[in-house]
Structure 1
Amino acid sequence: MLSIKIKAGSLTNLTDARYFSAWEVEWLGFNLSTGEENTIAPLQVAAMREWVEGPKIVGEFSLSAKDDILQQVADLRLDAVQVGMFTDLATVMDLSYQLPVIKEIVVEKTTTTGDIEFMLTHFAPHVSYFLLNFDKGGFGWNDVQNGAILNASIVQDFCQRFPILLGIGIQASELPSMLEYLQPAGLHLLGGEEEKTGVKSFDDVDELFEQLSLVVGQK
């Protein structure tokens, strides 16, 4: 049993889906937006979900229209949706009447504390979780600690006040101390490409999961 909720995102292959399912993560996420990196065809998602059980299936959408999202929800029997940085409040509200919504907030070099605060407070009544995504900007826990992007106390404050899933690069050895300090609602881990069909190394992720299985307590 893991000590914190995990969302595995941008999955593109069954190897990843089965691996994360075996670790009993909370969500498996599939990028259903067209024309983006790590997108996956709806038919592939439908086929994969027949091979995994346990995690909730999340459709990840960036700027898709509400009707297109709801069509995929119906076709793929999605358990939740993740919407992008620029999805407007009206769309999020409409979706939230149908199923749980995760709202992504991408943290970049130009992102200010006020920018994030505004989005969190603006959308909080209508989402189940926020994905605070440092990965897309290329930032890790090290950058937060040394103040290169936001700072640790600011991120801690956000995690204490809002249901945050944290997407951030970190060494396995630093994971317990980061979780103890920030206490996020969960973590966001990324899938990746297979070396060849059915073959992939999970050494780095294994170390993270081993640490997670040892961490005591859950927010």
Structure 2
Amino acid sequence: MALKTFVKVGSITNLSDARYCAGMGVDLLGFRVIEGQENYISPKSFQEIRGWVTGPQIVAEVYGITHADQLVAILENYRPDYLEFGKKEWRVLKDHISLPFILSIDTGETLASIETEPNFILVHERSDLAQLANDHEILLTVESTENIQRIDQQYIHGIALSGSNEIKPGLKQYNELSEILELLEEDN
């Protein structure tokens, strides 16, 4: 299957989400890799999921990282293609980043203190997308099908969605995630 736009799905916590997203043609799958953070997935659980999924590139979401030396274990245990973090984590990691990265910025934040260029900028609904898009590849956070229909595609490279927890292993309701991905399917 092919999607009409570049898609990243983050906060993946289960095999159901990972396989569904891979089957739908999602480009990037993100996993929270800092213990103690919401939606954290252990290296063991990640490896079990990774063994069943092919296609998407892997993003290690390192929100909450406090020391650069934590990065060594993350790179070894998760073998990500990208890192994702906010400006707080940037200050911790800036001299240790060896992979392409996605920088998440909040409304009103600027990129003035970032010395290198992120591969993507993850933004939430913002009015200044046009200004950011002049110099950066933008991934816009989308939470509902209503948001998809209001997106001005000319300013974004793609969208970012979030996975959700399973009711129990193998039992899952996809609701918004599946509706959004189905809206993005290429017409055959």
What TM-score does the superposition give when structure 2 sets the normalisation length?
0.86
Offset of residue 77 of structure 1: 1.7
Q: Which residue of 2 aligns with 1:178?
A: 151
SS at match of 2:114: helix
Q: Which residue of 1 aligns with 2:138?
A: 164
1:184/1:26 Cα in 2 relative to 1: closer, same or farther (>3 Å)? Answer: same
Superposed structure 1 runs of 4+ greater than 3 Å apart: none
Greater Cα shift, 85-94 or 15-24: 85-94
Contact 1:156 1:183 (C-alpha < 8 Å) held by counterparts? yes
CA deviations on 1:114-146 (whole Å, 9 max, x unpaired) are: xx23x2x443733211111x3xxxxxx5xxxxx
CA deviations on 1:79-108 (whole Å, 9 max, x unpaired) are: 11112330235723531xx2111112134x
Question: Residue 204 of structure 1 aligns to which amino acid in structure 2?
Answer: E
Map 1:22-171 to 2 at 5 A.
22-64=23-65, 65-89=67-91, 91-95=93-97, 98-107=98-107, 112=108, 116-117=109-110, 119=111, 121-123=112-114, 125-132=116-123, 134=124, 152=127, 154-170=128-144
Question: Residue 82 of structure 1 aligns to which amino acid in structure 2?
Answer: E
Identity score, percent: 27
In 2: Cα distance, 1:93 partner to 1:126 partner? 13
1:189/1:13 Cα in 2 relative to 1: closer, same or farther (>3 Å)? Answer: same
Contact 2:32 2:62 (C-alpha < 8 Å) held by counterparts? yes
Contact 2:138 2:155 (C-alpha < 8 Å) held by counterparts? no
Higher helix share: 1
Structure 1: state its 5+ residue gaps: 135-140, 142-149
What TM-score does the superposition give when structure 1 sets the normalisation length?
0.75
Offset of residue 162 of structure 1: 1.6
1:129/1:59 Cα in 2 relative to 1: closer, same or farther (>3 Å)? Answer: same
In 1: Cα distance, 2:58 partner to 2:3 partner? 18
In 1: Cα distance, 2:90 partner to 2:79 partner? 23
Q: Over the residues paired in the alignment, what is the CA RMSD in angstroms?
A: 2.2
Contact 1:173 1:211 (C-alpha < 8 Å) held by counterparts? no
Greater Cα shift, 63-72 or 33-42: 63-72
Q: Which residue of 2 aligns with 1:203?
A: 175
CA deviations on 1:5-45 (whole Å, 9 max, x unpaired) are: 11110111111111111111111111011212111111111
